Amino acid sequence: MNPSRVFPVADQFGVYIHIPFCAKRCDYCAFTTFTEYPHLQKAYIDACIKEVGLADEAGMSSPATSIYIGGGTPSLVDGRDLALLLNAVTKRDGAEITVEANPESLTGDFCAALADAGVTRISIGVQSLVPRVLKDLGRPHYRGAVEKALELIAKYNFLTHNVDIIYGAVSETQDDLRETLDGIFSMDPGLSHLSAYALTVEPGTPLAQETFRYPDEDRQAGFYEFIDDYLSDRGLKWYEISNWAKPGHACRHNELYWQGSPYLGIGCAAHGYIKGTRYKNTSSIKRYLKITADGELSRVQNDIIGPEERELELLYLRLRTASGVPEKNLRITEDIADLVSLDSGQYILTKRGRLLANEVAHRLLAGTETQNFTHASKSP
Per CB under 6 A, the list member of 26, 119, 184, 291 interacting with ligand SF4 is: 26
Which residues lie below 8 Å from residue 277, measured CB to CB, with a gap of 6+? 302, 303, 304, 305
What is the rounded CA–CA span in Å between residue 187 and residue 169?
Answer: 23
Which residues lie below 8 Å from residue 306, measured CB to CB, with a gap of 6+? none
* Interacting positions 61-80 with ligand SF4 (CB under 6 A): 71-73
Residue placing its CB nearer to ligand SF4 in the complex, 125 or 324 = 125
Answer yes or no whether residue 25 interacts with ligand SF4 by CB under 6 A.
yes
What is the rounded CA–CA span in Å between residue 222 and residue 123?
Answer: 25
Sheet with 340-343, side-by-side order of all strands: 325-326, 346-349, 340-343
Residue placing its CB nearer to ligand SF4 in the complex, 90 or 283 = 283
Q: What are the b/e assignments for 271-293, b being 16+ CB within 10 Å?
A: bbbbeeebbbbbebbeebbebbe
Beta carbon of residue 105, minimum distance to ligand SF4 (angstroms, whole number):
9
Answer yes or no whether residue 254 interacts with ligand SF4 by CB under 6 A.
no
Answer yes or no whether residue 102 interacts with ligand SF4 by CB under 6 A.
yes
Q: How many residues bind ligand SF4 (CB under 6 A)?
A: 11
- 3-class DSSP state of 334: helix
Contact segment (CB under 6 A) with ligand SF4 among 29-37, 203-211, 234-242, 365-373 equals 29-37
Answer yes or no whether residue 111 interacts with ligand SF4 by CB under 6 A.
no
Q: Which amino acid is at 270?
A: A
Per CB under 6 A, the list member of 29, 47, 126, 266 interacting with ligand SF4 is: 29
Residue placing its CB nearer to ligand SF4 in the complex, 61 or 102 = 102
Answer yes or no whether residue 33 interacts with ligand SF4 by CB under 6 A.
yes
Answer yes or no whether residue 22 interacts with ligand SF4 by CB under 6 A.
yes
HSE-CB at 333 with a 13 A cutoff on CA atoms is 7
Give the binding site for ligand SF4 (CB under 6 A). Answer: 22, 25-26, 29, 31, 33, 71-73, 102, 125
